Amino acid sequence: MVVTQPCATTKIDIRNPSNMSLEFSSWLSDQTTSEEIRLLRRVGGMEAKSTQFQAMEFAKTAAYGDVLVLDDTIQSAEVDEYLYHEALVQPAMMTHPNPQRVLIIGGGEGATPREVLKHPNVKSLVMVDLDRELVEFCQQKLPSWHQGAFSDPRLELLHTDGRAYLAQQEAQFDVIILDITDALEEGPAIALYTKQFYSLCQQRLSESGVMVVQGFSLSPLKWTEHATIRRTIHSVFPVVRSYSIFIPSFACTWGFIIATNNIDPANLSHGEIEQRIGDRNLADKLKAYDAVSHTGMFGLPKDLRLKLAQLGHILEDGKPLVFEEK
Amino acid sequence: MVVTQPCATTKIDIRNPSNMSLEFSSWLSDQTTSEEIRLLRRVGGMEAKSTQFQAMEFAKTAAYGDVLVLDDTIQSAEVDEYLYHEALVQPAMMTHPNPQRVLIIGGGEGATPREVLKHPNVKSLVMVDLDRELVEFCQQKLPSWHQGAFSDPRLELLHTDGRAYLAQQEAQFDVIILDITDALEEGPAIALYTKQFYSLCQQRLSESGVMVVQGFSLSPLKWTEHATIRRTIHSVFPVVRSYSIFIPSFACTWGFIIATNNIDPANLSHGEIEQRIGDRNLADKLKAYDAVSHTGMFGLPKDLRLKLAQLGHILEDGKPLVFEEK
Amino acid sequence: MVVTQPCATTKIDIRNPSNMSLEFSSWLSDQTTSEEIRLLRRVGGMEAKSTQFQAMEFAKTAAYGDVLVLDDTIQSAEVDEYLYHEALVQPAMMTHPNPQRVLIIGGGEGATPREVLKHPNVKSLVMVDLDRELVEFCQQKLPSWHQGAFSDPRLELLHTDGRAYLAQQEAQFDVIILDITDALEEGPAIALYTKQFYSLCQQRLSESGVMVVQGFSLSPLKWTEHATIRRTIHSVFPVVRSYSIFIPSFACTWGFIIATNNIDPANLSHGEIEQRIGDRNLADKLKAYDAVSHTGMFGLPKDLRLKLAQLGHILEDGKPLVFEEK
Amino acid sequence: MVVTQPCATTKIDIRNPSNMSLEFSSWLSDQTTSEEIRLLRRVGGMEAKSTQFQAMEFAKTAAYGDVLVLDDTIQSAEVDEYLYHEALVQPAMMTHPNPQRVLIIGGGEGATPREVLKHPNVKSLVMVDLDRELVEFCQQKLPSWHQGAFSDPRLELLHTDGRAYLAQQEAQFDVIILDITDALEEGPAIALYTKQFYSLCQQRLSESGVMVVQGFSLSPLKWTEHATIRRTIHSVFPVVRSYSIFIPSFACTWGFIIATNNIDPANLSHGEIEQRIGDRNLADKLKAYDAVSHTGMFGLPKDLRLKLAQLGHILEDGKPLVFEEK
């Protein structure tokens, strides 16, 4: 069946005419490599600048609304960031029976704390994000991301190095969320992916404590770095699980690694999860996450699970980062 | 960490020089719209022609190996077609306790019958694909897709209209797989998505019979057509379930709709599925599918499940096709 | 012949791994329409913002160095802006026997005044560019464009509307250069393309005065708007000539329209041009322009010249802008 | 000014739905490198296959009509091939006072012979194109290119190696046109760009004989290979000239090298050219070419002329092909 609809209006642009003046469009590239190009059509103007730590672009796209791009890859899109942020935060928050003290390293957009603060259990949320300039930009320009989280009295926001913070303070957390997004080739981020760092996290976790790490693009074709990070975490934590969710604006499934000393998040029953959602009065506050989607996220394809279970190299302080190729 | 590697060689191409001759690459577009462009780099030459029914292209891509493109969208890529075909076929074949007679409408690449024929229960597989020219191309050029399925004595291959075939023969099938890929705007495909057609399928199914339909791109942002097809199927079949899997070469999660008169595929236990895999000696023959991934595929995000459950328009013979917009 | 060369280094980017980590590239779109896409690979970060009048982007490209983009089309690229600016300025400056007083409307990047100020004859150069913010950005970030022109004591820089300026001051100019780049669909630019405005320019020109207007993309396939502007100018000036030059970073030939009351720029002899270049001591200061290239620029294809000579609609104040389609 | 126009119709494509179904478009890449991407929107299906010598694609584009692509770069587009073919053929044919015997090496599309055969002087046209399969494809599918040239009784078409042909036959030609399009990295084409081959051409030319070679993309930014070919030709022929023309479908200016033993094509007067056009009754048969455009094509920018005049490496049989980088 065919439906005719009026086109976007054609502007007579005097700079580049042809018999029928075609309007110029602008395009934003995402995750583009020498093998695959992905471009999203932009609408209107954009902002772009480099902070001390990363190059950022903020633009509105036709398909996904406003998007925040860091170092040439989309971090977050207005229309589906809830999928990423609920997936990052909710399984860990639900795995813990009563999460009162939570730490986020990264999270500068404001959506990660937003998800944590939905839980009435939370008494204290510390957020450590090194890039002050980016955080201030997000506070100002991305209100639908933070939805007031930055103003919540339970939140303490620090602009310092996350590992240094964790090392020098001794309090324990119930949940630690590592929402670090910058590339590994330089700077402090490298130190946030090693066995030594995960040991430090383990020391700072309470008894039923849960750690979750965003674990990059994960699919049967892309799994090497996720697997290396996962093995590194597993060399410290006895219980480690991978899960993933499809994020339309990323055009891929994003992986996460959740770790505890005892509870297995993949074995939470539907009843337990729905009980906690009810107790915490979250049914209306969670858009994508519930017991069924929790189970769905952990149900990875067989061949991917086998690849993730392979033995191999782990990441350690002072040693070069090598991601094993299989 | 940084790794230096030799580039693809630079050819001195006398047709388009610059001081450092850059090699020309060629790109294949997939699912490209006015909002989003996706291009895969090709390697080597390609073949392209139009059959009586569709425009086809066959090329090797750097990222995904050989790909078959029909009407400007990738149907299948060498490196991950197993994800699509196992997802299309295996849940339905496992839901039925003993699938002996199977019908495929479409499936011309040969991979759908390949998956069905792995089950020793199968005595008869009828495959009805209208496009003889495409099927012959696939038989010849896509050996890793069919892996000999076309030569299996249990297979009966017909080149005729699927609905007409089903109407005029009276035998019953245990599993009916609708793997139809062409667009709806013209021709016989329209008639394969209506209430009347699904009723015909129901009449041709045995008592524990299972029908599965490939249900297009499915995510919390893209669900309208899947929902309409699903509602249409549900107006005939009492038990209907949606499930999905991420296909890297498609850069999206693909949906499927499975329907029965009684058994609920989403409620098969892990034990039952593993039992059947064992009984049918399939553990080594299935790469992605097992009980855990089966459950994973049915675990859709909450908001998507709510959207799919909404009431609305269904598709019927003789009425214009309208996909409700929400 | 094949030459192997080392690739750009592969970074292990932890955000989007695959077995061989491919570095992300970023791309800038230029003059992209629904029929043709053009993208240039960017290097490093970029700046982007909207001034009161236009959306601007400033980035470094692999192929063309730094580029300034306004409203989704490249205005100027570091490596070949000299081709555009010499073509815009030099034919008019050479056509006039002794250009002492010059006016530029637009020209904010600083390169247009740079070209004018090379002529020792020039005693006074008035530049009127409405977008103060853009001009300040260019003064600061584009030193290779202005090369100190903004500091030349002969330059008077005004940030006001060009037509209003011309109307309210009565002094005459020897050369008027209209280097206006913004699209026509709104604001003051519309008023700078009409018969009434060109009449005003004619009144403000000295006896041997020369006016030149940048006349958009011009080729045998793209000529409609250039032709309309040219006809409009010709309804005022008795002598009007079109010329063009290929600008690699634009990937097209750009047109210009030069007008006088008497002298025919296309009929200047090689001897006259070389004489003036010598008298003004410009041989070492002009990179692309000389007598041979001057003649080359006026040598348009026959069919294009015929199209430009056709009668048709002209642009006038208060009437809708219509570009005749042939 | 804004004009609203109806869009291309939106098809309800059941394979990739979204709330508003967007039609899939397909794109053809041209001259795309790691620095610059160019894509033209295709309309309808396409044909693609590999002959013994090259990979070819034939498709209709929205902007340029039908295009023929060889080895990932557009050779010819329906709407503007006349610009290329008139530029390749007419200056050489006009430079010779009475061209009766003409040789084309290459030219398989049929447009090059079409241009030659317009001249009533021509008694014999030999065309040697190695790729029989491509020539037959063009004869059948590109009627607007050859316009019956293949059936002209003056044409003798041979499918053999051009250099071998020229070596073994002794007759002389008045004009030799080298319209070779394949890349240099393998096969017979290498032998058609050396000093030894150009010497052979010189021996086969009559006294006022003219040779013309298509000389690749030529601009102030791209000139290295053209310069090397030109120098090589100049090591044989005393008179050598470069000229160029902008081809919209190529998005660049294409260069040509014309060589004689005596006559200087760049110094033909307008009167001489117009005289010959008149004598040969060609005024109505030439769309772009006349005396003014002839002069225009030779008017290259100063810096480009200086680069082309530099001394340097030439190409010889048996030595590796090196294109000097400056």
Is residue B125 within 8 Å of B104, Cβ to Cβ?
yes
**Which spans in chain B are helix H?**
81-95, 111-116, 132-141, 143-146, 162-168, 195-203, 224-234, 270-279, 291-298, 302-309
Nearest to B2 among C1, C9, C34 (CB): C9
Task: Spell out, as residue ranges, where chain D has pLDDT lower than 70.
Answer: 1-21, 182-188, 321-326
Provide CB contacts within 8 A for A267, sequence distance 6+. Answer: none
For residue D8, being part of any structural domain is answered with: no
C14 assigned to some structural domain: no
- Please give the backbone phi and psi of residue B58, each rounded to the nearest 5 degrees, phi first: -135, 120
Q: What share of chain D is helix, strand, coil (3-state, %, to 5)?
A: 30, 30, 40
Return the pLDDT at B16: 33
The single residue of C66, C131, C174, C179 carrying the catalytic annotation is: C179
| Res D163: pLDDT | 94
- Alpha carbon distances (Å) from A248 to A85, B64, B320: 13, 20, 30
Taking residues C176-201, report their average pLDDT: 81
pLDDT of amino acid A54: 87
Q: What is residue D9's predicted lDDT score, i.e. its pLDDT?
A: 28
> Closest partner residue to D36 among C40, C184, C295, by Cβ?
C40
At A97, give phi and psi (nearest 5°). -65, -25
Give the tens place of pLDDT for each residue, B194-232: 999 999 999 999 999 999 999 999 999 999 989 999 999
The H-or-E segment that residue D198 falls in is helix D195-203
Q: Mutate which of B9, B10, B15 to test chain D, going by most D C-beta atoms within 10 A?
A: B15
Q: Which of residues 104-143 of A touch B (CB under 8 A)?
A: none
Question: What's chain A's average pLDDT?
Answer: 89
pLDDT at A181 over 90: no
- Marked catalytic residue, from D30, D66, D131, D179: D179
User: What pLDDT is attached to residue A143?
Assistant: 95
* Residue of chain B whose alpha carbon sits nearest to that of C34: B34
Nearest to B7 among C7, C21, C34 (CB): C7
Predicted local confidence at residue D24, as pLDDT? 83
CB of A41 closer than 8 Å to CB of A61: yes
Query: Using 50, 70 and 90 to split pLDDT, how confident is the model at C79?
Result: very high
What letters, b where the CB count within 10 A reaches 16 and e where it falls short, cover B193-214? bbbebbebbbebbbebbbbbbb
- Do D141 and D268 fall into the same domain? yes
Tokens of A53: 């730590």
* Spatial strand order in the sheet of D101-106: D155-158, D124-128, D101-106, D173-179, D205-217, D252-260, D239-247
* Domain co-membership, B72 together with B157: no
B/e letters for A189-228, b = 16+ CB within 10 Å, e = fewer, are bbebbbbebbebbbebbbebbbbbbbbbbbbbbbbbbbbb
Give the pLDDT confidence score for residue D325 in this predicted structure.
Answer: 47
> Is C324 labelled a binding residue?
no
CATH code of D48's domain: 2.30.140.10
> Hey, are the CB atoms on C2 and D302 less than 8 Å from each other?
no
Q: Which residues of C touch D34 (CB under 8 A)?
A: 41, 62
Asked if C320 reaches chain A (Cβ–Cβ under 8 Å), the answer is no
Question: How many Å lie between the alpha carbon of D185 and the closest alpha carbon of chain C?
Answer: 4
Predicted confidence at residue B203, as pLDDT, reads 97
Identity of the residue in A1, A7, A20 whose CB atom sits nearest the CB atom of D12: A1
Active-site position among B30, B66, B174, B179: B179
- Which chain C residue shows the shortest CA-CA distance from B4? C9
pLDDT band with cut points at 50, 70 and 90 for residue C21: low
- Contacts with C64 from chain B: Cβ below 8 Å: none
| Range C64-99 burial, b when 16+ CB lie within 10 A, else e | bebbbbbbbbbbbbbbbbbbbbbbbbbbbbbbbeeb
Measure the CA dihedral A161/A165/A166/A170, to 10°.
Answer: 180
Single out the catalytic residue among A179, A264, A303, A317.
Answer: A179
pLDDT of residue B273: 98
Same domain? For B127 and B175 the reply is yes
Residues 6+ apart with CB under 8 A from B20: B10, C5, D325
With a pLDDT cut of 70, the percent of chain B lying above it is 89
pLDDT at B183: 52
pLDDT reported for residue B284:
97
Nearest to A72 among C25, C72, C229 (CB): C25
Kindly tell me if the per-residue pLDDT of A277 is higher than 70.
yes
Shortest CA gap B139–chain D (Å): 18
From the CA of B155, how many Å to the nearest CA of chain A? 28
**Shared-domain flag, residues B188 and B90:** yes
C-beta separation of A233 from A239 below 8 A: no
More confident residue, C300 or C184: C300
For B33, name the nearest residue in chain C, comparing CA atoms only: C34
Q: Does B32 touch chain D (CB under 8 A)?
A: yes
Residue C39 to residue D37: CA distance in whole angstroms: 5
Q: Residue A86's CB: how many other CB atoms inside 10 A?
A: 25
| C-alpha closest to that of A268 among A241, A291, A236 | A291
| Mean local confidence (pLDDT), A266-293 | 97
Nearest CA in chain A to D3: A10
Q: Which D positions 221-280 lie with beta carbon below 8 A of chain C?
A: 221-222, 244-246, 248, 251-253
The 3-state DSSP class for residue D114 equals helix
Q: Is C72 a catalytic residue?
A: no
Q: Helix, strand, or coil here: D102?
A: strand
Asked if residue B11 lies in contact with residue D72, where contact means CB atoms within 8 angstroms, the answer is no
Residue A37 and residue C17: Cβ atoms within 8 Å?
A: no
pLDDT for residue B318: 86
Question: Sign (positive/negative) of CA torsion B240, B241, B246, B252?
Answer: positive
Taking the C-alpha atoms of residue B197 and residue B237, their distance in angstroms, rounded to an integer, is 12
Q: Is residue D259 part of a domain?
A: yes
Residue C324 contacts residue A17 (beta carbons within 8 Å): no
Q: Over 50: is that where the pLDDT of A42 sits?
A: yes
Residue D321 inside a domain? The answer is no
Let me know if residue A319 belongs to a domain.
Answer: no
| Same-domain pairing of A272 and A172 | yes
> Which uninterrupted H or E stretch holds B156?
strand B155-158
Mean per-residue pLDDT, C164-179: 96
Can you give the residue range of the structural domain that contains D242? 80-309
A6 domain residue, yes or no: no
Q: What pLDDT, on a 0 to 100 scale, did the predictor assign at position B12?
A: 33
Structural domain includes residue C320? no
Of the candidates B17, B44, B325, the beta carbon closest to that of D216 is on B17
Q: Is residue B1 part of a domain?
A: no
Shared domain for A178 and A103, answered yes or no, is yes
pLDDT bin (cut points 50, 70, 90) of residue C83 is very high
Per-residue confidence at C8, pLDDT binned at 50, 70, 90? very low
Q: Please state, in angstroms and rounded to a whole number, the distance separating the CA atoms of residues D57 and D65.
A: 14
Tell me the DSSP string of B279-296. Answer: HTT-TTT-SS-SHHHHHH
Mean pLDDT value across residues A40-62: 92
How close B64 gets to chain C, by Cα (Å)? 12
Average pLDDT on A314-325 reads 76
pLDDT at D45: 86
Question: What pLDDT does C6 receive?
Answer: 29
Res C1 pLDDT > 50: no
Band (pLDDT 50/70/90 cuts) for residue A47 is very high
Which chain D residue has the Cα nearest residue C37? Answer: D39
Check whether residue C66 and residue C95 sit in a common domain. Answer: no
Q: Which of A7, A12, A15 should one mutate to test binding to chain C, selecting the residue with the greatest count of C CBs within 10 A?
A: A15
Q: Is B8 on the interface with D (CB under 8 A)?
A: no
- Give the CATH number of the domain where residue A235 resides: 3.40.50.150
Residue A282, pLDDT > 50, answer yes
Interface of B with D in 182-201 (CB under 8 A): 183-185, 189, 193
Residue D73: list chain B partners with CB under 8 A. Answer: 15-16, 24
Task: Please say if the pLDDT value at position C119 is more than 50.
Answer: yes
Residues D145, D192, single domain; the answer is yes
CB atoms under 10 Å from CB of B325, counted, come to 10
**Model confidence band, residue A72 (pLDDT cutoffs 50, 70, 90):** confident
Read off the tokens for B166: 């089903």
- Chain C residue closest to A253 (CA)? C16
- Dihedral sign for Cα D12, D17, D23, D25, please: negative
Give how far B36 is from chain C: nearest CA, Å. Answer: 12
Q: pLDDT category, B187, cuts 50, 70, 90? A: low
Taking the CA of residue C226 and the nearest CA in chain A, the distance in Å comes to 8
Q: Is A154 an interface residue toward B (CB < 8 Å)?
A: no
The one-letter code for the residue type at D279 is D
Q: Which residue of C has its CA nearest to B21?
A: C3
Chains that contact D by 3+ CB pairs under 8 Å? Answer: A, B, C
Is the domain of C162 the same as that of C30?
Answer: no
- Looking at the structure, tell me whether residues B66 and B97 fall in a common domain: no
Instruction: Examine the domain organization and report whether A174 and A289 are in the same domain.
Output: yes
Work out the minimum CA distance from A139 to partner chain C, whole angstroms: 18
pLDDT in tens, D24-56: 889 999 988 889 999 999 998 899 999 998 889
CB-CB under 8 Å, C301 with D296: yes
User: Is residue C290 marked as binding?
Assistant: no
Asked if D169 and D30 sit in the same domain, the reply is no
Each residue's pLDDT tens digit, B106-165: 999 999 999 999 999 999 999 999 999 999 999 999 999 999 999 999 999 999 999 999
Tell the burial category of C188 from Cβ atoms under 10 Å away from its Cβ (0-12, 13-18, 19+). middle
How many domains are there within chain D? 2
Of A3, A4, A11, the CB nearest to D2: A11
- Stretch (H or E) spanning D163: helix D162-168
Domain boundary among A77, A99, A117: A77
